[in-house]
Amino acid sequence: MSPSPIQAFLDRDLIPPLADQDEIRLLCLQPGVTGDKIVCTTQHVKLSTNPQYEALSYVWGSKDMRPITLNSYPWEVRENLFDALINLRHETKPRILWIDAICIKQDDVKERNHQVSRMGTIYSKASKVVAWLGLANEFTVEALGHLEKFEEEEAPKIICSSSLVFKNELAGTEAGHRILEGVRLISLRSYWTRLWIIQELQLASDADIQCGRNCVPWEVFKAFFMDLEPEEPYYPVFSALGEDEKHVSPLSNLIWEAWSRDDSPSVRNSQYLSHLCFSFRKSQCEKAIDKILGLWSLAPVCCQDGVPVDYDLGVDQVLGKIFGHEVGAHDTPSRYLDRDEGVDRLRKLIFESWSHWTELERTWRQVEEDMAAYDLLLTSLDELV
Ligand SMILES: [Zn+2]
């Protein structure tokens, strides 16, 4: 049996190994027009020399493979990445990208571990992060087409231009409904449910969201979504996501989180690792431990120091470290629990369902109330002495 194109490629070792810990692989996407084959080459650069590249943020998605040419040989990529390459390709000039599936040798465990630990740096050093949401449909074209007319604006603004124009000129019209439907469909894309995209977007110095050929600055999309959400006439669009879902939908969370970070450095520092894990508990990742470590780059330094990244630890060991850190460094109700109970609570908070949370929330509040009563008792005893 003849080897598959991928095996033939690996056998020839046509992706050269990285020379040292500072080196990363970049992808050069050759120019082309509709109908041309996708042609790419890889190149090595030192991250410390601040190379110019854009980093792709996307979901791997279905395992259906599509053919491309990589370093002059046949290669295969998953369908969603193939669609991204087709739509991101420039007509006349190459585009330099960092894309995990190609720039990290997926069959080299040692390289993979090291590169994964550097992903926060890779995304934060990219000149731009491009969030690929998938192929367009008629509604997404109208929604993003509306937003493409607007530039990024200086924050803070009471209301952004795109939503102002929408409310004054488009709300209630057929075109307005189609735009809202497009925003709703975009907010339901599987892209938003992937846990790793949170750090990829939050750490980006600049980001665009792209759906098909439409490309909008993340800041513009975020501002429009924020302005729209609480307004009564538009509310049904978001309540279509379901009342509970609306409040924990990954896109809503991501936008609120990003907004509170932009708004105030003190808020940024109060988003403890445990809070982040809880906020994004609905996001999906392949390994349970990534539900915690995938958010580590966004946590304040105290939490990073208190809970170092260590893939050799099990989930409960990492939860134990979080609990220990919470008790030692943060003023949270968890200080009243013993370690096993604390780990158990954290595990439920982060890994169990939304319905479970309402019950847990009550329990936590009870602990706080009990302790407040206890503190009051101690104070009054002090006064008696
Ligand atoms: Zn901390």
Ligand 1 center to residue 306 CA distance, Å? 7
Is 117 a member of any domain? yes
- How many domains, in total, are found in the chain? 1
Is 57 a member of any domain? yes
Ligand 1 center to residue 59 CA distance, Å? 30
Ligand 1 center to residue 68 CA distance, Å? 45
Ligand 1 center to residue 70 CA distance, Å? 44
Cα angle 294, 243, 145; round to 5: 70
Ligand 1 center to residue 205 CA distance, Å? 24
Ligand 1 center to residue 375 CA distance, Å? 25
Ligand 1 center to residue 281 CA distance, Å? 18
pLDDT digits (tens, 9 = 90+) for 317-375: 999 999 889 888 886 655 667 888 888 888 887 887 544 444 444 454 555 555 555 55
Q: How many H helices and E strands in the chain?
A: 20, 9
The two tokens of residue 104 are: 């990290």
Q: Quote the DSSP letter at residue 49.
A: G
Ligand 1 center to residue 195 CA distance, Å? 20
Burial of 5 (0-12, 13-18, 19+ CB in 10 A): middle
Is 186 a member of any domain? no
Query: Do 298 and 317 contact (CB within 8 A), yes or no?
Result: no
Ligand 1 center to residue 118 CA distance, Å? 21
Is 22 a member of any domain? yes
Q: Cα dist. 276→36, 95, 253 in Å?
A: 43, 34, 10
Residue with tokens 């929604």: 143
Ligand 1 center to residue 327 CA distance, Å? 10
pLDDT digits (tens, 9 = 90+) for 36-81: 999 999 999 999 999 999 999 999 989 999 999 999 999 999 999 9
Query: Do 6 and 69 contact (CB within 8 A), yes or no?
Result: no
The mean-pLDDT minimum among 192-206, 246-260, 321-335 falls in: 246-260
Ligand 1 center to residue 279 CA distance, Å? 16
The residue with greater pLDDT, 229 or 287, is 287
Look at residue 204 and give its three-state secondary structure.
Answer: coil
Is 61 a member of any domain? yes
Q: What is the pTM of this model?
A: 0.80
Ligand 1 center to residue 296 CA distance, Å? 11
| Mean pLDDT, residues 13-21 taken together | 79
Range of the domain at 42: 5-126
Ligand 1 center to residue 322 CA distance, Å? 8
